[in-house]
Each structure stands twice: as structure tokens, then as C-alpha cells.
Structure 1
């Protein structure tokens, strides 16, 4: 048996060992909806066209304690772009989305309100960082909402530019301060913000159109910023140390290439694994950054067909939270969770029990039964037995050839 043949047999098993067993928390069969101040206000919004329920679409996600936060795609007929929902409920009905921190804090083209929520991140002290794209009338801005202090909300920075391309952010809590690194889709640059200095600056990335962004674990030095390319499947990295010092140009280094283009969302855990989702793809990939580049299939949903199918985040307890959104099929949206044995990159790495390995989702949910696990074990045994039989036959044939040569008086040179 050739090495290639052996590889083709065992390749599915590498994917098998990295997937997680997800369970469903909530399911919205048809449409999502808001928690409205009154039914009259909802009726009026539907009548005047400022609300189209079927257009609610989650795009970014954060979690803290028993609350999940979602930023929504902002259209003229979606009145708010940041909402919260509970991580669990006593009711069997899926919860409505609660505008966060309140209805009154949302108003498009009001520079002192939340206009177009984009990337979200919660830091180690319970503050929700919100990237706000702004509007044609207002500069992009950065909010902090103190989730452990009555959700006190304030703008901490107004960027000196109008932008329609604000995308995502990651946070670094370093010894010399806290920094936010921000991606703007399609731009050949990233934005750096220093909380202590209350300053931001643009770092050019020549010939590299940045899209998704991730940061290496807290206890890794030197830390790296990972960048997904807008126009290709390349994954790149930059040393964070140079970014902190105010550099204005950085040259990203190619790490490897994903199998798909446009990784719109990347997430790093505290063990150094990146999880990546791609536009119009029905799966999430994973990559262990401490090893040579080898993309693995982390989760897959059969038949999924959406432009932006997944949002996901890791909490402080090692739970991977994810929404699965589908424009074409029912259910419209689902909230899933899985214990994967790793936490957010913001948390120090610590020994944890790894998640039980399962197969990627090939149906609407990943629901493994004892029979399925037995089938997996049977397949592995069959493959291993087959390999051993082939090797034994090769060795047996080789011994026969040696015996024939020796009987004919041929001396074997070793």
C-alpha cells in the first residue's frame, strides 16, 4: 500500500478528532423579533416600513455571564443593531431580542447614539467593546459598556474618519496598556487604538486587503495578529509588538492558505487554535497555530446556504456559542452550544479537559447516539485491519521472492 493510499484512508479521521458535539439551545422556526416597548409601536413600525421582521440577521456575537450579545445587519428597516438574549430560558419558546443597552440608545445618523453595531468583544473585567461604523453624517466610534456595573455606556473614542467598512476587533491587555486591533473589510490597513492614550492610528498593510482578524493567546510571546485576506484564501500574521509602538506600516507574513476564500470571521482560543468561517460556506474550519498549517473541519451543516451563515464566540468557561442562520430554509435561526475544553484567547491558558471528539455535523444538528459512536469505532477497526492485511501480504510476497532467489543460488546483498 502506498503512503498516498494510507493517507486517503486516514484523512477523514483527522477531521473526526477535531469536531465538537453541539446541542441546540434555541430555535427560531420562521422569524426573529424584538422585545418591543409596546405592541402599538411594533404595529406602527411594520406599517410605516421601519421594521421588516424577516430581515433580522445576526452578524457578530459576544457573551458574558448569562447573556449573549448580537450585532445585527443594519438596514433602514431594522431599527436597532445591538441586542441581547439569555443563554437559557425556562420557556420552550425562543426569546425575543432585547435592544441593548436600551431602545433609546439606538438612532441612525445621531452621532451620540449607537448607529451601526459591528464587531463585539468582552474584556477580562466584563466590559463589552462595541465597534460602531457610524453613518454618512457621523464618524465611526468605539463604545464600552460595563456589563458588571449596571451596563454603564460611554463612547471612548471617535475615529477621525468616515467609514463604511468597519468589520471586527480583537483586544490585547498588555503590561503597557490595553489595545484594540480593528479590521476594515477590503482596506489595505488595520486600525490600532490605545485605551490609555485615547489615540488611534492606521497601520498600512501594502498589497494585503484585510478582512477577518484574530489575536494569539494571552500567554504567548511574542504575540501575533492573524489576518484573513479579503481577496484571497491566504492567512497572514503580524508581530503585535511593532503595532503597540505606533508603527504606520507592517508587512504581513503568509502563514498558509485556507481551502476557501473570504474568511469573514476568525476566533482564537487560549490554546492557540483558530476557528474560521467563510462566506457562502456551510462549515467552520479550525487550525492549530502551534503546528504546521493543517486546516481541519470543526463543524458542518448539511445544505446550509447563506451569505453569512455563522456567528460564534467562546466564553470564560470553555463553551463555544454559535448561531446558525439560513435565509432559505427553516428553522431561520438556531443558537447552539458545545463544551470544547478551551476558552477565549483573552483568558490565560490552563489545563482543561478536551472536548469529546465527534464527527462534523452532517444534519441539522450534531446529535450523536451510541450506535453512531459504535459505527465510528467499527470503521476505524476495519481500516486498521485492512492496512495490516495489506502490509502482511506485501511482506509475505517479499519473503517468497527471497526464497526463490536463494534456491536459484542468487546471493542477496544486504
Structure 2
């Protein structure tokens, strides 16, 4: 009898483990702005006033914290009621339901004490969520500056705002802030790095000292695009040295600089030419270590490059391929499960206004482990 009971418990354990694994692997999918509204009447009010237009909502960046995915919804077009949201990886519904993060009051467009348009997010090792708010809405239709640009930090354990970094003194009228990364210096001080594509610069902000400065990059790093994208990725290549790997989309080459040089405000002569690109490539994210994930422009395949190896095609490992009509916008480390995930959508259709009811978006699981 004891053996039968033990066998039953073992069978149940295997079933539960298999079920959980299936839950983890099942993609989270949704269309347009699938939000959790306070009441049906609130949703109706937002729709009637034009503050919610489902087909205009799209998530482009994501980070994972425990069982939640934090999502950035840039206000590219009118009718995006939430610019920072959260969805649970454990949701069992057919369509993922997204709640505003940390709450509805922080999403108010035109209120400079709230979030205006989040274009990138980063979770640091101390469970602090850093969000880059450019302050400009409707960027793909008729851009309007609602508020100065800023970085806002939230403690993910308490869901409370803990810091606001005013970037207005570091930007020019033409600035286009696009990506951010955060690290802690050996003395424990946090530093925020932000790419400014229009001014060929990296913004460096010493959070503890409440001061920031601009590091102007040499002309050699610039590509040929008029409204280009300046990608950055924070990697650790060994020996305790962190690097920012960066490249313009249209640039034929990839570059790097040690972050201790950036923290010292000294880039002159410190930038390294990493190598020649086989084609235009889109940075998607890192494994929080030495690996960068990327895809070629317009292509569904995602590659992993260990930055400890030469930047050559022989070093690029194919790790994922998006389904038809989908392209990835971020590769995300799922630390709890030691896996990588992918945020993907039909973003080109969204830009061309051919999404019908809304953009198709999903978070899928990569093969392999971190």
C-alpha cells in the first residue's frame, strides 16, 4: 500500500511539473490594447473620447520580473491609454490581459508627474525598474511634446516610484532618446546610459550624484540614415569589465567602450571597432552576461553572439525564428527560469496602418537556457 501511495505522489508530481512546463512554454498572445479596465464604463469613456484606440496600441520593449512581464507601450499614435503595463506569465486566458504599471494614475497623458511615452525599460540586479520616458506622444502621426524627457525608477518589490532623473538639461531640441541600460559601479553607485541618436551621443547619469553629462561619439560611428537608430547593449565580457556595445542601424560597423571610461566622461581614444556587419542588424537584448541577441533588418531569425568571441558570422548562433508576419523587438532574460523569451509583433503592419483590429503581439520562449 505504501508503495502504491508513493507511486501516486510521484505520478502527480510528474504531471504537475509537466503542466507547469507547458504553461511556461505557451506563448502569451494578445491583439491591440488588451487592458484590464477598472470598469466597463471607464473603457467606454476612453473610447468615446479617443483616448483608447485599440489598433494604435503596441508593445515594443519588455523585461521579466519573477512571474510578470513588464511592457513598454510607446505612444506612437493617439489612443494609447497605457504606456507602461504588466502581464502575468501564469495567465491561463486565451488572450493576455494587461494591467497598467504601477497603476492607472501614472499613465495620464499631459500630466508631467505621470508617464508620457515609454520607449525603453531595464530591470537592474536590485529589482529596480528604470523606464525611459521621452515626453513626446504621437511620434508616428503628429509629434507633440507633452513634458521634458526623464528616467523614472520603480522598486518592483513595493511597486513604488523611487527616483526621477530629469534629462532636460542633457538634450537638444533635435534629440532622439531611444535605449537605456543601467549598471552599478564598483562603489555601488548606479549609472544610467542612454542613446541619443540625433546628437551622436551617449548620455551618462550618475544617479547618486544627481548629475549627468553627454559623451559625444566620433563621426566614424555614424551611418548613412537620416533618422537613424542608435542601439546600445550592456554586456560583461569577463574580468569584471562591463562594456557598452553600440551601433547605428545604418552603420556598417559595431563599436564598444568600457563603462568605466563612460563613467569618467572620457571617450576620446577609448572606443573600439568591434567589426564589420554582414548586413544591417537590430539589437534585441542580452542574456545579462556576455551574449547579445540580434536579427538582421526585416528578417525573422534571431542570432546569439557571445561578445567574448570575434564579431564574425562564424560566431553567430541561430537560436530562434519568428512565425510569418512577426518580427521580434526584444529578447528578454527570464532569470527565474533560466530561459530567454522573445517579444514579437507585426510591427511593420502597425506602422503602415494595416493591422485591422490591432497589432498581433506575443511573448514566446526561445530554445535553450541562459
**TM-score scaled to structure 1, two decimals?**
0.70
1:266 corresponds, among 281, 285, 298, to: 285
Does the CA contact (< 8 Å) of 2:65 and 2:334 recur in 1? yes
Q: Of the two, which has the highest radius of gyration?
A: 1
Q: What residue number does 2:361 align with?
A: 333
Residue 224 of structure 1, CA deviation: 1.7
CA distance, structure 2, for counterparts of residue 108 and residue 163 of structure 1: 22
Residue 97 of structure 1, CA deviation: 1.1
- The answer to whether structure 1 residue 295 and structure 2 residue 313 are counterparts is no
CA distance, structure 2, for counterparts of residue 151 and residue 266 of structure 1: 24
- Kindly tell me: are residues 125 and 305 of structure 1, through their superposed partners in 2, closer, same or farther at Cα, counting changes over 3 Å? closer
- Kindly tell me: are residues 121 and 305 of structure 1, through their superposed partners in 2, closer, same or farther at Cα, counting changes over 3 Å? closer
The runs of 5 or more residues in structure 2 that have no matched partner are: 1-23, 137-144, 223-228
When you count strand as a share of all residues, which structure comes out higher?
2
CA distance, structure 2, for counterparts of residue 186 and residue 278 of structure 1: 22
CA distance, structure 2, for counterparts of residue 155 and residue 108 of structure 1: 20
Cα-Cα RMSD: 2.5
3-state SS of paired residue (1:192): strand
The aligned length equals 315
Q: Which deviations, in whole Å up to 9, do the C-alpha atoms of 1:277-302 show, x marking residues without a partner?
A: 45422122221211222333221124
3-state SS of paired residue (2:61): strand
CA distance, structure 1, for counterparts of residue 207 and residue 330 of structure 2: 27
Residue 95 of structure 1, CA deviation: 2.4
Structure 1 segment 339-378 matched on structure 2, within 5 A: 340-342=368-370
Residue 137 of structure 1, CA deviation: 4.3
1:81 corresponds, among 60, 80, 83, to: 83
Q: What residue number does 2:67 align with?
A: 66
Residue 198 of structure 1, CA deviation: 1.2
Q: What residue number does 2:44 align with?
A: 43
Q: Which deviations, in whole Å up to 9, do the C-alpha atoms of 1:95-135 show, x marking residues without a partner?
A: 21111111111123322111111211111121111111113
- Kindly tell me: are residues 225 and 114 of structure 1, through their superposed partners in 2, closer, same or farther at Cα, counting changes over 3 Å? same
CA distance, structure 2, for counterparts of residue 250 and residue 274 of structure 1: 24
Does the CA contact (< 8 Å) of 2:201 and 2:217 recur in 1? yes
**TM-score scaled to structure 2, two decimals?**
0.77
- Kindly tell me: are residues 338 and 269 of structure 1, through their superposed partners in 2, closer, same or farther at Cα, counting changes over 3 Å? same
CA distance, structure 2, for counterparts of residue 273 and residue 303 of structure 1: 26
3-state SS of paired residue (2:120): strand
Q: What residue number does 1:140 align with?
A: 149
CA distance, structure 1, for counterparts of residue 198 and residue 324 of structure 2: 28
Residue 238 of structure 1, CA deviation: 0.9
Residue 186 of structure 1, CA deviation: 4.2
Residue 251 of structure 1, CA deviation: 5.5
The runs of 5 or more residues in structure 1 that have no matched partner are: 1-21, 343-414
